[in-house]
Amino acid sequence: MPVRKIAIVSAGTAAVAALVGAAWLGVSSRRADPPPPAIRTVFVPSGPPEVTLTDTLRVGQTLGELFDDNGFAGPEAVEVFNLLRRYKNPRSLRPGTVIQLIAPIAQGPTESGEPLLASAPNRVHLKPDPDSRLVLDASMGEWVGRLDSVPVVSDTVKLAGLIQANMYDARLGGDTTGLVSSDVRQLIWALSEVYQWRIDFYRDVHPGDAYRMLVEREVRPDGSVRAVRVLAAEFRNRDQVLAAVRFHPPEGEPNYYDEKGESVRRAFLLSPLDFRRVTSGFSSRRFHPILKRYRAHLGTDYGAPTGTPVRSTGDGTVTRASWWGGYGRAIEIRHANGFSTRYAHLSRIGVRPGQRVAQGEIIGRVGSTGLSNASHLHYEFLQRGRHRNPTGLKLPPAEPVDPDLLPAFDIERDRLLAVLEGVEMPTLTRLADARSEGRSTERGE
């Protein structure tokens, strides 16, 4: 069944406008108060009543069919259709797009209850995408079109979270009023993006870990969020607190730095899986491979659904991309300074030997090929052929803040961190027990 609503919009019967007479300005203490200003009442004649038909494009339905279903057909409908085409390909409109047909004369619903336009509409409104609104208007006699961008306002949000079992179930503090779960998820994703070189959000987040962040958001009039930008954050992971401050040098790209101006970026991402791409609440720690029976286990296993994208953790060159015994379909990448990484049990390989890959580039998909009995990614990190634990390594950071810009950075850091202080970093107190349980690591198994 189509979702269809009818709304009768009538301009007010009469609007009353109060016009205030010119104020008497020459105030002098020796004179009496000025006389009260005269008030004139002006009656503004009301416009004719009009009817707005709101309909939603269904799956498989064309815009022409929608017009037709609402009694809008003939040469004028074709004209509107052709005008619309100048702004947007009607075939590219997605199901769910809301279209409003506004007609100057209302006749109300027909006897059958079907709302039909009594006259051809003289305005058509639709939102081809969340950030724009297309207005087609014939109220001045000729159809003209206008593509408006939806005004976006920005606000800042301070949020704190105390992690209980995973990133998604944190106890929240700060500006939580009006935040719905999708807003919170978006903020957590933004946070995970900032820290992806420093924290493995799958395996290395524990009960009692906590964060606080200052975020700038772009919000549309309907309350939906277009973009979020972390301005400053602190993440307490185990016993260390990592600060990240956004700094945009006059030339170049914005980046995140710690209090001293060191980049939070590293030569390697800590996780080969993008935290945002796996089902929310999916915990790697719940995954217990039986691989240990087959051979010594040197690496990290990430339980994830088959098909989950796998990314290269660093810039490098593919040295192997093929079936590789117990690894099943596997990829090996050689990086600078004697580092290499391996990605095993893939369902699909997306690169070829010799190919250059960038950090974060998707190279394949999670699977269960080779010696594997459940869908997961086996990841190895090697330095000069020896297996290493990337979480414990001090990997060289990316470029720090340019020394010439340090004074500017210091001002920005102090400003942002002072605002961040406005929300309290959650403390452990009652989660202390849960935390000590959660600290048993599964690395090196």
Angle at 439 between CA 433 and CA 440, to 5 degrees: 115
Q: How far is the CB of 222 from Zn ion (least distance, A)?
A: 46
Q: How far is the CB of 443 from Zn ion (least distance, A)?
A: 11
Q: How far is the CB of 302 from Zn ion (least distance, A)?
A: 9
Secondary structure letter of residue 367 according to DSSP: B
> In this complex, which beta carbon is closest to Zn ion, that of residue 265 or of residue 378?
378
- 8 Å CB contact between 278 and 305: yes
Q: How far is the CB of 301 from Zn ion (least distance, A)?
A: 4
Q: How far is the CB of 292 from Zn ion (least distance, A)?
A: 9
Rounded Cα distance between 341 and 351, Å, is: 14
- 8 Å CB contact between 62 and 75: no
Single-letter code of the amino acid located at 382: L
Radius of gyration of the chain (CA): 30
Q: How far is the CB of 442 from Zn ion (least distance, A)?
A: 11
- Nearest position to Zn ion, beta carbon: 378
Q: Phi then psi for 215, rounded to 5 degrees?
A: -125, 135
Please tell me whether residue 380 binds Zn ion under the rule CB under 5 A: no
Q: Which stretch binds Zn ion (CB under 5 A): 38-46, 217-225, 374-382, 425-433?
A: 374-382
Q: Collapsing DSSP states into helix, strand and coil, what is residue 272?
A: coil
> In this complex, which beta carbon is closest to Zn ion, that of residue 128 or of residue 299?
299
Neighbours of 148 (CB within 10 A): 12
Q: How far is the CB of 376 from Zn ion (least distance, A)?
A: 7
> In this complex, which beta carbon is closest to Zn ion, that of residue 40 or of residue 288?
288
Please tell me whether residue 301 binds Zn ion under the rule CB under 5 A: yes
User: Which two structure tokens, joined as six digits, stand for 20?
Assistant: 């205030």
Q: Residue 305: which residues within 8 A CB-CB, separation 6 or more?
A: 278, 279, 282, 366, 375
Please tell me whether residue 50 binds Zn ion under the rule CB under 5 A: no
Q: Which stretch binds Zn ion (CB under 5 A): 51-59, 165-173, 295-303, 322-330?
A: 295-303
- 8 Å CB contact between 148 and 107: no
Number of residues that bind Zn ion (CB under 5 A): 3
Q: Which stretch binds Zn ion (CB under 5 A): 32-40, 220-228, 362-370, 377-385?
A: 377-385
> In this complex, which beta carbon is closest to Zn ion, that of residue 301 or of residue 412?
301
Q: How far is the CB of 297 from Zn ion (least distance, A)?
A: 5
Angle at 258 between CA 159 and CA 360, to 5 degrees: 85
> In this complex, which beta carbon is closest to Zn ion, that of residue 249 or of residue 326?
326
> In this complex, which beta carbon is closest to Zn ion, that of residue 275 or of residue 379?
379
> In this complex, which beta carbon is closest to Zn ion, that of residue 104 or of residue 370?
370
> In this complex, which beta carbon is closest to Zn ion, that of residue 247 or of residue 379?
379
**What does 376-394 look like in DSSP terms, one character per residue?**
EEEEEEEETTEE--GGGS-
- Could you say which of 309, 378, 382, 390 contacts Zn ion (CB under 5 A)? 378
Rounded Cα distance between 327 and 306, Å, is: 15
- 8 Å CB contact between 305 and 226: no
Binding mask 247-286 for Zn ion (x = CB under 5 A): ----------------------------------------
> In this complex, which beta carbon is closest to Zn ion, that of residue 204 or of residue 301?
301
Q: Which stretch binds Zn ion (CB under 5 A): 60-68, 162-170, 296-304, 429-437?
A: 296-304
Rounded Cα distance between 443 and 292, Å, is: 13
Q: How far is the CB of 204 from Zn ion (least distance, A)?
A: 17
Minimal CA–CA distance to 312: which of 351, 280, 370? 351
Binding site for Zn ion (CB under 5 A): 299, 301, 378
